[in-house]
């Protein structure tokens, strides 16, 4: 069962995001979001695009939770559905920063290759 959401409020937020990013454009106007060409959506078109975004968002979340690998094709698809609703998709790499640890802690640079700075000897 899909969660219920306020479509009117979601569309109003979409219009705000769109106008903030692209200015006042008529419905159907083409804009480029990163590498994707999309149009300013009418309310009826928005409902389907929002549902696609929510489904893809949930699928990616489940993949990450299960430990599955998310390939480039899935990330490009996710970026496209996010572009249609004028949402910045999360940076998957940024989500894992720090979890792998600091490589310098395990294999620090030698003193001859370490950059000079106030804490170097």
Domain ranges of the chain: 7-93
Between 106 and 53, the higher pLDDT residue? 53
Tokens representing 93 are: 């790499």
Tokens representing 88 are: 């910045």
Residue 104: per-residue pLDDT: 55
The least confident of 27-41, 77-91, 94-108 is: 94-108
Q: Let me know how long the chain is.
A: 121
Give CA 10 to chain center in angstroms. Answer: 17
Residue 112: per-residue pLDDT: 59
Distance from C-alpha of 43 to C-alpha of 19, rounded to nearest angstrom:
15
pTM: 0.66
Residue 107: per-residue pLDDT: 52
Distance from C-alpha of 34 to C-alpha of 81, rounded to nearest angstrom:
12
Cβ contacts of 17 within 8 Å, gap of 6 or more: 86, 87
Average pLDDT, the chain: 77
List residues bridging with 30 in a β-sheet: 39
41-86 pLDDT, tens digit each: 999 999 999 888 888 888 877 877 777 777 777 778 888 888 898 8
Q: What SS3 state is found at 36?
A: strand
């Amino acid at each position: 069962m899909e969660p219920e959401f306020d479509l009117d409020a979601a569309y109003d937020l979409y219009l705000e995001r769109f106008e903030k990013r692209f200015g006042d454009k008529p419905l159907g106007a083409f804009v480029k979001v990163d590498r994707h060409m999309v149009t300013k959506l009418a309310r009826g078109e928005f409902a389907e695009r929002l549902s696609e975004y929510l489904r893809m968002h949930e699928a990616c979340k489940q993949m990450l939770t299960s430990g599955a690998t998310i390939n480039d094709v899935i990330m490009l698809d996710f970026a496209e559905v996010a572009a249609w609703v004028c949402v910045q998709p999360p940076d998957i790499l940024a989500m894992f920063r720090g979890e792998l640890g600091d490589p310098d802690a395990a294999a620090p640079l030698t003193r001859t290759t370490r950059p000079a700075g106030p804490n170097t000897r």
